[in-house]
Chains A and B, each alone.
Chain A
Amino acid sequence: MSDQSSDKQMQTPNAVRAYQREWIERTRQRVKQGEPFAICNGDDFEEILNVMDIPVIVINYWHALITTKKMDRYYQNILTERDYPATIFSMGLATTMDNKPEMAPWGGLPKPSIIIGGARQDTEMRILELWAREFGSVFWPIEYAIWHGIEKVPPPNWFERIRDHWDELVDPHKLDYRVQEQEKLIRYLEVSTGRKCSLPKLRQAIELVNEQMDYWRMARDLIAKTSPSPVSLRDQLSMYQVMWHRGTPHGRDFLKAYYEEVKDRVEKGITACPDEKIRLMWVNALGTPPLWGKWAEETYGAVCVTHNYMGIAVDSYARTILNDDPMRTLAAKYMMLFWTTPEWIAAQAKHSNCRAVVTVAGRQTKAAYEKAGIPMVSIPSERDDEATRAAISKFIESNLL
Chain B
Amino acid sequence: MSAFEELQKHYLERDLAAQQWKKSGGKVAGYLCNNVPEEFLLAAGLFPLRLSGDPQGDTEKIGNYSEQGNVFSREGFVASILHMILQGKYDYLDYLIIPHARDSVHRLYTTLSYRQETEPDLKLPELYYLDNLHTKFYSAGIYNCERWLELKKQLEKWTGQKITDEKLSQAIAVTNENKSLLTKVADLRVADRPRISGFDALQIIGSSMFMHKKEHNKLLREYLSGEGDFPERDGIRLFVEGSPLDNLQLYEIIESCGATVVAEDNCWGNRSFDGPIDETGDPVEAVIDRYNNKAPCARMYPIGERIEYCLQNARAAKVQGAIFHVNRFDEMQAWEVPDEMKVLKENGIPSLYLKDQPYRIDDTEALRARISEFVKGISR
Contacts and interface: CB of A to CB of B under 8 A. Distances in A.
B336 A141 contact: no
A248 to B, nearest CB: 29
B337 A177 contact: no
B331 A153 contact: no
Contacts of A141: 134-135, 301
B367 interface: no
B92 interface: no
A122 B299 contact: yes
Contacts of A83: 337-338, 341, 353, 355
A339 B70 contact: yes
A185 to B, nearest CB: 12
A129 B131 contact: no
Q: Which of B117, B133, B353: most chain A CB closer than 10 A?
A: B133
Contacts of A171: 131
B110 A152 contact: yes
Contacts of A181: 139
A102 interface: no
A167 interface: no
Interface string A157-179: 00000000000000101100100
A84 B303 contact: no
A180 interface: yes
B332 interface: yes
B215 interface: no
B143 interface: yes
Contacts of A121: 103
Interface in A272-316: none
B250 to A, nearest CB: 19
Interface in B125-143: 129, 131, 133-135, 139-140, 143
A126 B332 contact: yes
User: Which bucket holds chain A's interface residue count?
Assistant: 35 or more
Contacts of B161: none
B113 interface: yes
Contacts of B302: 129
Nearest to B139: A180
Given A84-B335, A126-B335, A147-B70, A173 B103 contact: no
A85 B69 contact: no
A155 to B, nearest CB: 9
A126 B129 contact: no
A70 interface: no
Given A153-B117, A173-B143, A85 B334 contact: yes
A177 B141 CA distance: 12
B221 interface: no
Contact of B301 (A125, A340, A368): A125
B134 A119 contact: yes
A141 to B, nearest CB: 5
Contacts of B331: 85, 87, 122-123
Nearest to A120: B103
Contacts of B332: 122-123, 126
B114 interface: yes
B132 to A, nearest CB: 10
Contacts of B338: 82-84
A174 B109 CA distance: 17
A123 B335 contact: yes
Contacts, number: 85
B146 A173 contact: yes
Contact of B129 (A143, A151, A341): A151
Interface string B338-356: 1001000000000001010
Interface string A122-139: 110111011000000000
Contact of B113 (A123, A153, A340): A153
A83 B341 CA distance: 10
B241 to A, nearest CB: 13
B290 interface: no
Nearest to A343: B68
A235 to B, nearest CB: 27
A69 B355 CA distance: 30
Nearest to B109: A151
B294 interface: no
Contacts of A368: 68
Given A83-B341, A129-B303, A143 B335 contact: no
Contacts of A339: 68-70
B315 interface: no
B100 interface: yes
A340 B110 CA distance: 13
Contacts of A365: 66
A184 B140 CA distance: 13
A148 interface: yes
B102 interface: yes
Q: Which of B103, B146, B335: most chain A CB closer than 10 A?
A: B335
A173 B302 CA distance: 23
A141 B303 CA distance: 12
B335 A85 contact: yes
A364 interface: yes
A341 to B, nearest CB: 5
Contacts of B68: 153, 339-342, 368
A194 to B, nearest CB: 25
A123 B298 CA distance: 9
A153 B131 CA distance: 15
Q: Which of B102, B109, B134: most chain A CB closer than 10 A?
A: B134
B114 A153 contact: yes
A341 B301 contact: no
B83 interface: no
A43 to B, nearest CB: 14
A362 B134 contact: no
B106 interface: yes
Nearest to B100: A148
Contacts of B133: 143, 177
Given A85-B331, A153-B114, A341-B69, 9 more contacts: A122-B103, A125-B134, A126-B301, A130-B303, A143-B133, A143-B135, A143-B140, A339-B68, A364-B67
Q: Which are the 4 A-B pairs with shortest beta-carbon distances?
A: A340-B69, A122-B332, A153-B114, A83-B338
21 contacts: A83-B353, A87-B331, A123-B331, A123-B335, A125-B301, A126-B298, A126-B301, A129-B302, A143-B134, A143-B135, A143-B140, A151-B109, A151-B129, A151-B131, A153-B117, A173-B146, A177-B139, A339-B70, A341-B68, A362-B66, A364-B67
